């Protein structure tokens, strides 16, 4: 069973995303993953309630129980994806390659990420602050009511910068290592983290395994992003030195071991400051400041961040294709 060159598969997957994005007519696997996670979450919640378990009385057992999420969801997604790819290659190598490309296409989202950032930018450019807040609210968990333009820009820049790893670098990294099945498994990890991996009373311990697995999976891709972004900043004639200094000084201040890397690099390159006070469900959350406020945050910085994301996507794909030609 001869497989297609994985570099070409990745290239085709990225071209599909650029041309088609996430079409509404095509069922997205993340929706199915979300339904399975919600079903498991309800079942586990009823089981815990029936036995009277709480975070205070059964912290360790609840954490062990939380392992069922990645075992079932991530393991299941990988197994189904691997089975389908194996069958497709067994029938026709071209069919197998096309299926892998489609799976990887559904695991990445550079166009969707760009559109989210540009929707906010366009609203700000038209002086429609309320619409910009609404567009931001569609892609972040923080409350956006009452945010001024600078805070809306901050939210947009942070979202695009952080998700460069989640939506582009990491899924393509895993696609290069283990093909479409591993890229889909990564998407399952990412979906789990978004749904049960955040800190709340319910998921304080139940979501620990999912959150830690997401941190682990993003550890290498986030650090590979350093070189990619520095090269992009040089190409775009942005401030490479300030980006490097800001990364070295501030990245570790972010509560995530990975998200602070792209955010601090972008903050330094654009001469803006990210981080600050966010509001989640009525509660204030103080985030460390990343970068120096050399320039006030403006809509143009969000547009620059989207351009950085596109350049980084192209550079990363070129690197992967180059590696595939050598191995």
Own/partner pairs, 142-151, CB within 8 angstroms, 24+ separation: 142/278, 142/279, 142/280, 142/285, 143/278, 143/279, 143/280, 143/281, 143/282, 149/124, 149/297, 149/298, 149/299, 150/296, 150/297, 150/298, 151/276, 151/297
Instruction: Please give the average per-residue pLDDT across 245-265, as a whole number.
Output: 96
- In our burial notation (b when 16+ CB lie closer than 10 A, e otherwise), range 309-321 reads bbbbbbbbbebbb
Torsion angle in degrees (nearest 10) through CA of 196, 198, 200, 204:
70
Looking at residue 1, its pLDDT comes to 40
Quick one: tokens of 174? 């895993």
Per-residue pLDDT reduced to its tens digit, 96-115? 999 999 999 999 999 999 99
Here the tokens at position 146 are 């009452």
pLDDT for 197-243, tens place per residue?
776 666 666 678 888 999 999 999 999 999 999 999 999 999 999 99
Evaluate whether 152 touches 133 at the Cβ level (below 8 Å). Answer: yes
215's CB contacts (< 8 A; 6+ apart) are 256, 257, 258
User: In this structure, what DSSP letter does residue 72 have?
Assistant: I
**Does 266 have pLDDT greater than 80?**
yes
């Amino acid at each position: 069973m001869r497989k297609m060159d994985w570099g070409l598969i990745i290239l085709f997957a990225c071209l599909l995303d650029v041309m088609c994005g996430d079409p509404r007519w095509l069922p997205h696997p993340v929706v199915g993953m979300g339904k399975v996670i919600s079903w498991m979450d309800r079942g586990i919640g009823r089981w815990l309630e029936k036995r009277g378990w709480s975070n205070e009385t059964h912290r360790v057992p609840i954490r062990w129980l939380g392992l069922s999420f990645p075992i079932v969801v991530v393991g299941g997604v990988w197994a189904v994806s691997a089975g389908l790819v194996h069958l497709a290659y067994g029938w026709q190598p071209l069919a197998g390659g096309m299926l892998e490309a489609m799976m990887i296409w559904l695991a990445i989202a550079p166009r969707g990420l760009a559109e989210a950032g540009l929707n906010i930018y366009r609203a700000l450019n038209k002086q429609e602050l309320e619409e910009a807040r609404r567009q931001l609210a569609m892609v972040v968990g923080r409350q956006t009511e009452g945010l001024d333009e600078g805070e809306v820009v901050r939210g947009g820049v942070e979202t695009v910068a952080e998700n460069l790893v989640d939506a582009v670098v990491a899924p393509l990294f895993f696609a290069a290592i283990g093909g479409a099945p591993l890229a889909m498994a990564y998407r399952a990890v990412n979906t789990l983290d978004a749904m049960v991996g955040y800190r709340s009373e319910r998921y304080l311990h139940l979501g620990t395994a999912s959150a830690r697995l997401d941190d682990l999976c993003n550890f290498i891709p986030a650090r590979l992003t350093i070189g990619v972004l520095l090269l992009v900043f040089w190409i775009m004639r942005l401030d490479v030195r300030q980006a490097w200094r800001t990364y070295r000084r501030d990245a570790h201040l972010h509560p995530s071991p990975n998200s602070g890397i792209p955010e601090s690099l972008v903050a330094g390159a654009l001469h803006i400051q990210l981080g600050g006070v966010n509001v989640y469900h009525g509660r204030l959350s103080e985030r460390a400041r990343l970068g120096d406020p050399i320039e006030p945050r403006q809509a143009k910085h969000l547009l620059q961040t989207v351009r950085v994301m596109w350049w980084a996507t192209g550079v990363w794909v070129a690197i992967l294709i180059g590696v595939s030609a050598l191995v």
